[in-house]
Amino acid sequence: MYADKGKQSPLYQNYIIADRGTQGGLWGPDWRNNFEQVFGADSQQYDEAAKVANAVAKLEGTSGVNVVFTGHSLGGGLATLQSAITGLPAYTFNAAGVNAATFARANAQYVQQLPQLVSAYYDNHEILSTLQDDSPVIVPALDAALLYSGLPPLPALQAPSAEGTRIALTPVSSNGTPIPWYEDYNPVEMLAQHSIMSVALALNYRLTQLQGASNGGTGP
């Protein structure tokens, strides 16, 4: 504006592209995409996410549009892929890991830069991250609990871990207090911690801690 007079006031727009997490029953389309991703198979939602990312990449830097990606669970995996394609930042929560074959199919150029691009928040010991990271303590414990209940152990799927800089969050109950460690390892509690509501509680607790520290206190 008024560039002929030496005055420039560009208008910037900031957009957040949010990818939804898994919805529906075990045999619904979201879960089908989850299973396809574990095995590196072609996945419709990841293909569609790649198309969105490529469209955004054409806009970025030419129209004053600033974009970040975000998502929870399946949506976190989609946001990670979009970040790897565009080189734009992403914030993920209890994210699904992305198979190397998916990055390759999408011709993602920024996979090696994902630790700098993606902030990957997760509830410590939540079920998805635990299984993807193949915890040497918790996974055998879950297998033992399943066997004790008369159920088969977890299959060795070798699911990919979430990409990015991993940031562990303290699991928090609905009243805002940390969940005791002996409940934290309960399979039912681990499953509950995967929800976006649990992430919101954990993020609020972390924010309260940081605010307390900045005010000279130690937080709750």
Asked whether residue 6 is assigned to any structural domain, the reply reads no
Q: How many domains does the chain have?
A: 1
pLDDT at residue 26, as a whole number: 43
Asked whether residue 205 is assigned to any structural domain, the reply reads yes
Entry field: residues in the chain: 220
pLDDT at residue 10, as a whole number: 62
Asked whether residue 2 is assigned to any structural domain, the reply reads no
Asked whether residue 140 is assigned to any structural domain, the reply reads yes
* Residue 112 domain boundaries: 14-214
pLDDT at residue 13, as a whole number: 74
pLDDT at residue 220, as a whole number: 47
DSSP-assigned letter for residue 158? -
Q: What is the mean pLDDT of each run of 10 residues along the chain (220 residues)?
A: 57 82 54 57 84 88 76 94 96 94 94 98 88 63 62 61 95 88 79 89 91 64
pLDDT at residue 117, as a whole number: 98
pLDDT at residue 89, as a whole number: 96
Residue with tokens 């996979």: 111
Asked whether residue 7 is assigned to any structural domain, the reply reads no
Asked whether residue 146 is assigned to any structural domain, the reply reads yes
The runs of H, that is alpha helices, within 5-113 are 29-38, 44-59, 74-86, 100-105
pTM to 2 decimals? 0.78
DSSP SS3 for 138:
helix
- For 177, the token pair is 């207090």
Asked whether residue 116 is assigned to any structural domain, the reply reads yes
Asked whether residue 203 is assigned to any structural domain, the reply reads yes
